[in-house]
Amino acid sequence: MNTELLFTEFESDEKDTSPEVYELNIISGGCRIYGYLLSPDKRIPAPFPAVIMSHGFPGYTTNNDLELALMRAGCVVIHLNHRGAWGSEGNYLFTNLKDDMTAVAKWAHNPAIAEQYNIDTDNIFLVGHSMGGQTVLNAAKELPFIKGTAALAAYDIGAAFRCNLEKELFLMIETEGQCLKMSSAGDVYENALKNKFELSILNDYEKLAGRNILFVEAALDTVAPADKMMKPLAEKLMDLSDKAEYKSIVSGHSFAGQRMKLAETVGQWMEKVIGKGE
């Protein structure tokens, strides 16, 4: 991986080496979840680190620019659409998110898949924004082969209830969630309420101790304020190990005005973790 290529393209594509986009169709919980895989230019030496991206609720901020930047730097990038989101089968439920991510990570780690897409199975990363940040942190607890996990402006359902933000959560589900396939906003909210402890990023946080974790705060965030949502876990993990890192970017929840800085922050952290070979 070479972060000097995050915002640099080859002068032209070549027929036998140019980047490729592959459609994905992976089973999770008996449902087909759809997405795509970005494969980097073959003039970059293989095998490639892999990044699996988890979108937020409901996924309007897709992070396509971050995905393409990491592809240019020499990563295979896997974008999944969670159950009930953006054409994937099934109903959207918060309890499905971790299982979807786990299914895709195990798929990418499979030797046959890794050989097909030139994935370096020793360097698989999870990156998630907002609700996707919660998703990747919880999935990493069950996936010991993951090299590193980056949570970007992570939401925490457990914190929403602890900090009396449940009304804001329900409003988010009811309004933003209209593009999702779900039985009702009430059912999705009840799913959060009944499973708030299991879904919280603080649950079983010891499983992340000593792991490579990057927290990226959006300092102007009003959707998932870091002091309530993400910082409590970050502080616990940084007390336990120097492998947990915390970065702050002065931007709102979507990092809309600081996308290049976000790509640099994530890419340089990945490059450092890969270089350490830990």
pLDDT tens per residue across span 99-155: 999 999 999 999 999 999 999 999 999 999 999 999 999 999 999 999 999 999 999
> Directed axis angle between helix 94-109 and helix 185-194, to 10°?
80
Do 154 and 255 touch, CB atoms closer than 8 A? no
- The alpha carbon dihedral of 199, 204, 206, 207 has a sign of negative
What's the pLDDT tens digit per position in 241-255? 999 999 999 999 999
> How confident is the chain (278 residues) per 10-residue block, as mean pLDDT?
92 92 95 97 95 90 93 97 94 95 97 97 97 97 97 97 94 91 93 96 96 97 95 96 96 96 97 82
Check residue 177 and give its pLDDT: 87
Number of domains the chain is built from: 1
Check residue 92 and give its pLDDT: 94
Check residue 278 and give its pLDDT: 53
DSSP string, 220-250: T-SSS-HHHHTHHHHHHHHHH-TTEEEEEES
Q: What is the CB-side half-sphere exposure of residue 141 using CA atoms within 13 A?
A: 18
Structure tokens at 57: 């609720």
Q: Where are the alpha helices (DSSP H) in the chain?
A: 64-72, 94-109, 111-117, 131-140, 157-162, 166-176, 185-194, 196-199, 226-229, 231-240, 259-276
Q: Could you tell me the residue range of the domain that residue 170 belongs to?
A: 3-276
- Report residue 196 CA to chain centroid gap: 20
User: Considering the entire predicted model, what is its pTM?
Assistant: 0.94
Q: What is the CB-side half-sphere exposure of residue 72 using CA atoms within 13 A?
A: 20
User: Which CATH number characterizes residue 13's domain?
Assistant: 3.40.50.1820
Check residue 277 and give its pLDDT: 61
Residues facing residue 212 across a β-bridge: 148
Q: Three-state SS for 127?
A: strand
